[in-house]
Amino acid sequence: MRTLVISDIHANLNALQAVLADAGEVEQVWFLGDVVGYGPDPNECVEILENLPNLQALMGNHDAALMGYISIDRFNREAAQAIEVQSLIVTQKTIDFLELLRIKIELPDLTLVHGSPRNPIWEYVLSPAAARVNLEHVETYGCLIGHSHVPMIFYENEDGFIRTLLPESGDRWKPQGRFLLNPGSVGQPRDYDPRASYVIWDDEEETWGFKRVAYEIEPVQDRIMALGIPPRQAARLWIGT
């Protein structure tokens, strides 16, 4: 079975469409949170997302902020402004979808969260030290995380140390120890590669395949500017940061 693993769409319709076209046919989709925030197309992205096959979907911090579950005061000024703009254009259908998103999903061998196992909404896992602490909060073999917008793997090797991998597009990885895996961001990558990022889990081969795909950035930037979302959210799409 091929499973599409995506995170941090951030209302970027063009990027989401490019990922789905590039990924091809999949049997199920695991979405790790933040369908809204930053970008211009929250309603369109939700409409596509909710119709994907066998969807498992999480709530991210931007989703939670748009719903009023957490304060936008926790965000930087430009991120908060984007949420304020989106709050004026989201439909009831979008709100209904966001309301049903879960904080954590536990599958037989995997845990799914947006931020981290010990803080599913907000914590960034960016170092081996943070990964080790969070593995102590996971009972499953592996855990999928988003939030940082960087494709990354933390895994425990035979000597018990936590190692870090920064996969490139086309890399396929087969776990041999407990791990945390981040597929990167669909709509706003932050590893200086502007291409949308995603992962395919092949449970027959037991491999995680990392992929990047280019998309048309300028139309997204035009829509961001037209809505009055801070210009930085448009500019950063060019450089992937």
Report how many domains make up the chain. 1
What mean pLDDT, rounded, does the chain reach? 96
Whether the Cβ atoms of residue 13 and residue 36 lie closer than 8 Å to each other: no
The whole domain housing 30 covers 2-239
Distance from C-alpha of 86 to C-alpha of 83, rounded to nearest angstrom? 5
Q: What is the pLDDT of residues 6-60, one digit of tens each?
A: 999 999 999 999 999 999 999 999 999 999 999 999 999 999 999 999 999 999 9
**Distance, first Cα to last Cα, the chain:** 33
Q: How big is the CA angle at 192 (ends 62 and 199), to the nearest 5 degrees?
A: 65
Lowest mean pLDDT segment, chosen from 112-121, 153-162, 184-193, 216-225: 153-162
Return the CATH number at 135.
Answer: 3.60.21.10
Please report the pLDDT score of residue 135 as a whole number: 93
| Start-end of H helices in the chain | 13-23, 42-49, 61-66, 77-89, 92-99, 128-135, 218-227, 231-239
Tokens of 197: 């990022």
Percent of the chain exceeding pLDDT 90 equals 95
Q: What is the pLDDT of residues 142-187, one digit of tens each?
A: 999 999 999 999 999 888 799 999 999 999 999 989 999 999 999 9
Please report the pLDDT score of residue 51 as a whole number: 97
Average pLDDT of span 211-229: 98
Please report the pLDDT score of residue 159 as a whole number: 82
